[in-house]
Chain A
Amino acid sequence: MTVRKNQVQLTATEKRRFVDALLELKRNGQYDTFVTTHNAFIMSDTDNGDRVGHRSPSFLPWHRRYLIEFERQLQAVDPAVALPYWDWRTDRTAGSSLWAADFLGGTGRARDGQVMDGPFSLASGGWPLTVGVDGRGFLRRSLGAGGRQLPTRAEVDSVLAMSTYDAPPWNSASDGFRNHLEGWRGANLHNRVHVWVGGQMGTGVSPNDPVFWLHHAFIDKLWAEWQARHPGSSYLPAAGTPNVVDLHDTMRPWNDVTPADMLDHTRHYTYDTVA
């Protein structure tokens, strides 16, 4: 069974094998298909139209399935690899071991935002960016630029306390747990972390930065923590909602999985700490 661990707990060997598997998916072309898929959804999910991957109730089950697909590809390269998660409540500075040269590399240089160290730098040669919104073919970051702060534990707790999963109009204007976790309303958790990292992470092609997976693995874990806190609360809406994925509707692009299928993550993986 796959166990997803806090990235600070990874051994040097686990870090190296995770990085090597990422580099192999990049080399064989599979990595970029994930970037393309994410961007296609982010550009087409709209508040008043069809919405599946973002700004909608299925934000959480969609990303759960998307990460499972990605993790399976990593495991096809190295069966020992699992997606780690980044708990940005506690691991909240650019000085974190997450950003060391033996793992994801650090922030970008001032001139052009280019990441200069680690396995995903331009100089390393193994991480060309081919799916982009502009012509720059190198990974960029601006960790915490402008004095931005990552969400605090108190802010996360305030969102986890919301007992209603989601609410009409089921989009970026909604009240409830999902939209507050996604960040279009209130304390702003998920969206703010994308902006804090900067570079490609702030764009529609955010999976170009490997930290995307660690960020979303933690968002996924927060969903599991929310479920544990609110056992009587369920995914909403239940049925008959135009443009929105109801509990038993299938989700694009897979068309063989529903939110109901994604509610129990333990069928696919567990976490190193109980929710």
Chain B
Amino acid sequence: MPELTRRRALGAAASALAGLAVADLVIAGPSRAEASVPNASDPVAFDEVFLGRRIQGGAASHEGGHHHGGGYRVRIDGDELHVMRNADGSWISVVNHYETFATPRAVARAAVRELQGADLVPLVLA
């Protein structure tokens, strides 16, 4: 399972870096990693505070539930943001469902702007 191993390694590395307050300064050109995402198999993990909200993204553990980000999960202040990956590698979320974004981090930031401080509520499929 080389792919799973690689995803774990990538997630672990990114989480470790994100744990540093100066993560964006430490990584030489953080946008370089994100720019390659649309054609990459594994988007990078992230963990940051954006406009006062903690946004996190990374490979999901197998907790069940419905998510269609190819095993990638995004949270805002700990609540799951339902995200989905399009065939061209771009991303959408349930908060911005008709507008595509290049990376999970961009979709999380767009959701924070859209929420204007409101909390996500769990949505259950009918």
Chain A residues packing against B (C-beta within 8 Å) = 36-37, 39-40, 42-44, 46-49, 55, 112-113, 132-136, 169, 171-173, 183-184, 190-192, 194-195, 202-206
Contacts and interface: CB of A to CB of B under 8 A. Distances in A.
Given A40-B126, A43-B82, A191 B98 contact: yes
Interface in B91-115: 94-100, 114-115
A36 B88 CA distance: 28
B44 interface: no
Q: Categorize the interface residue count of chain B.
A: 20 to 34
B123 interface: yes
A135 B121 CA distance: 6
Contact of B99 (A40, A169, A195): A195
B97 A202 contact: yes
B120 A43 contact: no
Contacts of B25: none
Contact of A171 (B82, B87, B95): B87
Interface of B: 66, 68, 82, 84-88, 94-100, 114-116, 118-121, 123, 125-126
B99 A191 contact: yes
Which of A37, A46, A205 is packed against the most chain B CB atoms within 10 Å? A46
Contact of B94 (A133, A169, A191): A133
Nearest to A33: B126
Nearest to B120: A134
A44 B125 contact: yes
A37 B126 contact: yes
A135 B119 contact: yes
B66 A44 contact: yes
A203 B84 CA distance: 13
Nearest to A184: B86
B123 A39 contact: yes
Contacts of A206: 97-98
A203 B97 contact: yes
Given A47-B86, A134-B118, A194 B123 contact: no
Given A134-B121, A135-B119, A135-B121, A43 B86 contact: no
Given A37-B126, A49-B68, A42 B97 contact: yes
Contacts of B95: 133-134, 202-203
B38 to A, nearest CB: 12
B87 A173 contact: yes
Contacts of A40: 125-126
A-B pairs with lowest CB-CB distance, top 9? A173-B87, A194-B98, A191-B98, A40-B126, A134-B118, A47-B87, A204-B94, A46-B68, A40-B125
Contact of A172 (B68, B82, B88): B88
B121 to A, nearest CB: 6
A49 B86 CA distance: 11
Contacts of B86: 47, 55, 172-173, 184
B32 to A, nearest CB: 25
Contacts of B98: 183, 190-192, 194-195, 202, 206
Nearest to A193: B98
A42 B96 CA distance: 12
Contacts of B99: 191, 195, 202
Nearest to B119: A135
A241 to B, nearest CB: 15
A37 B125 CA distance: 8
20 contacts: A39-B94, A39-B126, A40-B126, A42-B94, A43-B68, A43-B94, A43-B123, A44-B66, A46-B68, A46-B84, A133-B95, A133-B120, A133-B121, A173-B87, A184-B86, A190-B98, A192-B98, A203-B95, A203-B97, A203-B114
